Each structure stands twice: as C-alpha cells, then as structure tokens.
Amino acid sequence: MFGLEKKDMRMLMIVAILTLCAPFILNPFPTDSALAQFNAGYPDLMQRFVIFGIFAIGFNILFGLTGYLSFGHAAFLGVGSYSAVWMFKLLSMNVVPAIMLSVVIAGIFALLIGYVSLRRSGIYFSILTLAFAQMSFNLAYSVLTPITNGETGLQLTLEDPRVLGVSATADGSIPVTNLFGLEMRSTFEMAVGPWAFQFNAGYYLCALILLASFYLSIRIFRSPFGMMLRAVKSNQQRMNYTGLNSRPYTLAAFVISGMYAGLAGGLMASMDPLAGAERMQWTASGEVVLMTILGGAGTLIGPVLGAGFIKYFENIFSKINDNVLHSWFSFMPDGMEDFVVFVIHPFIGKGWHLTLGILFMLVVIFLPGGLVEGGQRIAGWFKGRKSSEKSASGKTNPAE
C-alpha cells in the first residue's frame, strides 16, 4: 500500500494514530485532578510536537543517513519563518502560499550553504554550518533590520498591503491565518465527564503535513538514493575510490533537510505569525540534534519520538513549581513534605534542563540507539518470554 513494505506501512499507521488521536492520548487525566498538570492536549503544545517532529525528520535525513552533523539547521527554520510572515504581509493570510515560499526559500538558502560547507567533512563541516547559522542570526538581529525588524521580530501590522486579502477586518483588527477560510486558531472543545478535549484546525493541518513528511522520508530511506547516502556514512573515502562522486548526493540530502526545516519554520509562522532572530540561534540547532539522537538517529520514527519527548519536558516539567509539589505531598508530615520538595526542587521548573540532561545521559550510555532501541529491547523481551513459555508448554514427558 502506498508503495511501502508491510513493516513501513505499519510504522506509518502508528504515527498516523498517534498524531490524529493526540487530543485523547495527551489528555489522560481529568481536568480537576492533581495530575492534570501532566496533560499536554492543548493546541499550542500539540502544534509544537508535530512541527518540531517535521524539523527532526528532515535533520535525520542528513545526519542519520550521511553522518554529517550540522549545527546550523536553525538558520533554515528562521528563514522559513521570515518567508512565511512576509507572504502574509504582502499577499494574503492563506497559509498555503506562505508554506510553499518557506520551503522554496529555505531550499535555495540550504543550497548555498551546503555548496560551501560540504567541501569539508567531520568536525570541520559542523563548525562551518555553525558559523553560517550564527552569521545568519546576527544578520537577522542587526544588519538586515529593514527585512527582519531586528530584535523585535517580524510581525503583522494594519498597514500591510496584502494584495489578495484585507489589511484589517471589519472590527479593525489584524486578520488571522487561514486555510481557504478555515481559521488556524479555530478550536472545537468536547467535554466527556471530567475530561476536556480540544480539536484545533491548525494542529490537524500540521499533523497531516507531518504524515506526508514522514511518508516521504520512508521513501527516501528505502530508495537507491538513500542507499547511496548510507554508503557515504559507511565509508565515503572507499566510495570515492570506486569512481562515484559523493558530493551531489550529500548536497541533495543537505538541501532536502533544509527544506524540511523551512517547512517547519513556515508552519510555526502559520500558527503564530511572528518571526524572530532567536529561532536561528545555535541553541535551536542543538535542540534538533538532541531530538534526533535521543529518539534514535538513522531510524524512521526516532526523531518524532525525540521531538515529542523534549517538547513535553520543556512545556510540562518547566511549569511544575514548589506550590504544585506541596499540593502533591500535602499528605506527609510538614517536615517530611518540606524535605521532599527541597530534594525535587532543582529538577523541576527552571531546572528542567537538569532533568533532561540526566535522562539524555542515561539514554546515550545505556541506549545508544535512542528511545527506539529501548522499545525494541522491550519488544524483544516480551517475544523472548512468550517463546520460552511456548517451548516450556510444548515439552512432553518421555515414554516409560
């Protein structure tokens, strides 16, 4: 089906179920319970899950297949965001032209940077991409202020021309982004007893694009082009000795990866029409590296899992404070309650980076293949247990 093998089709269906049913999966606790703090089924966070999943999928095509580690992919994320906002300002508030322009501009930008950076490999390539990203950040922050609006960020105003749209609505406010009239912020809320579920139009647009992006990555991984990229990662020097020029393949992978990042940037601007230079900082590039390694570099579903894992920690654990902890442990004696809160305090709130760092360290040490390897080990353990039970039950006593 769709030209995929049975295993790949099953993986695509798993991603489809996880994304389309996310409003239910991410809201497991009643809204009035103490554990509702861990619910993540609100539109803004769900959008971030899928948008950064797209970003990580694209990065994995470069890093996971070729082994080229880029520390500058946030530049393409920022370029995509700026392109989308300019399309909203000049043309219309329809997200389709904005997303298409984001992908095209990011691809051109990636072609220029990749053509120079891929003249080197290893750590030298990584440093070059980092240098280009930081140059892009500083240009957006100060030099190109007429285009990027500097540190304030590029945003919509009532003076924007919008050739195919209106500059202001009937009530004098700025129009909202839409998909042929369907507003991206449009949300349907459904209450089922103590549970509340939100279905957001913008999220489902991002989810469908994620599925298309994931499907395309599967086709790339299983194609002859993907095999050539794996050969580059395995032994590029030996590949060159055979007479094959690897640079066109690595450049194509770099451009495709940059276009994925531009797509993610365009979607971010489509959900919230604002673009700032902070999206091009080296920390954003490092974040996508963490997502890919944590989920499982070189695997198909790993980057999506890593993106969801990090964004969950960033948005959920960072909101837990001492007041929440005291409400959780209020059943303890006062001295014991204060001691427990004192111990946990450094790992939550502003200290969520410490918790994430410890988890990342444990994954790298014990699960070099990331979260995907952990899932494979658990599945293998269950299979081994079932097979041992079958073999035990199938034994027969010898005849006397």
Q: What is the pLDDT of residues 181-210, one digit of tens each?
A: 899 999 999 988 888 899 999 999 999 999
Q: pLDDT value at position 384?
A: 79
Q: How confident is the model at residue 240 (pLDDT cuts 50, 70, 90)?
A: confident
261 with 55: CB under 8 angstroms?
yes
Q: How confident is the model at residue 397 (pLDDT cuts 50, 70, 90)?
A: very low
> In this predicted model, what pLDDT tens digit does every residue of 260-313 receive, in sequence order?
999 999 999 999 998 988 888 888 898 999 999 999 988 989 999 999 989 988
Nearest to 252 by CA among 75, 68, 82, 8: 68
Exposure string of 260-296, with b = 16+ CB inside 10 Å and e = fewer, is bbbbbbbbbbbbbbbbbbebbbbebbebbbbbbbbbb
Q: How confident is the model at residue 248 (pLDDT cuts 50, 70, 90)?
A: very high
Q: pLDDT value at position 12?
A: 92
53 with 307: CB under 8 angstroms?
yes
In sequence order, the 6+-apart residues with CB closer than 8 A to the CB of 330 are 337
368 vs 386: which has the higher pLDDT? 368
Domain limits, the chain? 6-282
State whether residue 198 is helix, strand or coil: strand
Mean pLDDT of 112-140: 93
Percent of the chain at pLDDT > 70 equals: 96
60 with 213: CB under 8 angstroms?
no
> In this predicted model, what pLDDT tens digit does every residue of 37-70 receive, in sequence order?
888 888 999 999 999 999 999 999 999 999 999 9
DSSP assignment of 53-84, as one string?
HHHHHHHHHHHHHH----S-THHHHHHHHHHH
Q: How high does pLDDT run on average in the chain?
A: 89
- Above 50 in pLDDT, residue 400? no
Report the distance separating Cα 281 and Cα 54, nearest Å.
Answer: 18
Report the distance separating Cα 62 and Cα 76, nearest Å.
Answer: 14
Q: What is the DSSP letter of 336?
A: H
Percent of the chain at pLDDT > 90 equals: 51
Place of tokens 């080296």: 282
- Above 50 in pLDDT, residue 222? yes
Q: How confident is the model at residue 394 (pLDDT cuts 50, 70, 90)?
A: low
